[in-house]
Amino acid sequence: MKIFLGLLLTFFLAQCKQEINLDIPNSSQMVVVQGEISTEKDSSFVYLSQTVSYYSNDGTPKIDNAIVSVNGVSFKSKGLGIYKPDTPFIGTINTIYNLNVALNGSTFTSSALLDPMFNIDYVDSVYYPAQGGGGSGGQRRDGYSVRFWWTDTRTPAKYTYMRYGRTSLEILQDSFFRNIVLLDNSQTKLNTPISREIPRHYQPGDTVIAILKSCDKNMYYFLQAYQMQNSNTPGPFQIPPANLPTNINGGAIGYFTAYDVRRFRKGL
């Protein structure tokens, strides 16, 4: 009887199988602009590429035949979609930068204000013992967390983002693209010393690296959306991610921004 019921169940499940073909349209190719103006020497660039299908295994097509300028300064193609000025370009705080990209009869434009960064007063570290004992939260080993102290005298709303990582024997261990902290000074105290900890525990012998950059409102919300998109693990039926917000005009996507930069290294 058990054998009969097993065969019957197998037959029933086999009859329930149905092949479903999903017709997922491929979007047309779009120009992608990634442009950054920096107060650091020779760090300003424009990167041009094209979108590809979400399911494509091909590489991202690069664009090397555009005419690119920022505030009238020509950015020349260096190959692989990268455009840079012939002479070192250094951004100036409180300046509006205007991007112009001419490509195959189309024009893409954008503007960004280079806001000043606040100055870091000092950097220290604090030791934390091991935490947790298993369970859903897991266990966190002991280590040092690095703190930045500053006084923000800028008027709100000014935005800052920080990327951080560590080196051990000068080998980068963390991903700068995932480790992002966003700051909005309309949400913090102004003209008062405040601190921010890097949310990681490090070990003696590590060198912690941090890059702090001012950014405008457009870039702040772009990074915020980027963080949310990359922090969510897609489910089995989740559709491909939506495009991120853009401040590029003319039918392209991407971003154009300007930074005032501070870099720090602290050995533990």
Read off the amino acid at residue 25.
P
User: Higher confidence at residue 16 or residue 35?
Assistant: 35
CA distances from 155 to 88, 158, 202 (A): 31, 7, 34
CA atoms within 13 A on the CB side of 1: 0
Quick one: pLDDT at residue 74? Answer: 97
Q: What are phi and psi of 173, to 5 degrees?
A: -105, -30
The DSSP secondary-structure symbol of 97 reads E
Taking Cα atoms as reference points, which of 143, 158, 123 lies closest to residue 206?
143
Read off the pTM.
0.79
What pLDDT digit, counting tens, does each position of 157-183 carry?
999 988 888 775 544 454 445 678 899
The DSSP secondary-structure symbol of 62 reads B
Q: Is the previous residue joined to 102 through a cis bond, with omega within 30 degrees of 0?
A: no
3-state per-residue secondary structure call for 198-257: CCCCECCCCEEEEEEEEECHHHHHHHHHHHHHHHCCCCCCCCCCCCCCCCCECCCEEEEE
Tell me the C-alpha distance between 187 and 218, whole Å: 17
**Token representation of residue 211:** 């890059």
What pLDDT digit, counting tens, does each position of 84-133 carry?
999 989 999 999 999 999 999 999 999 999 999 998 999 999 988 887 65
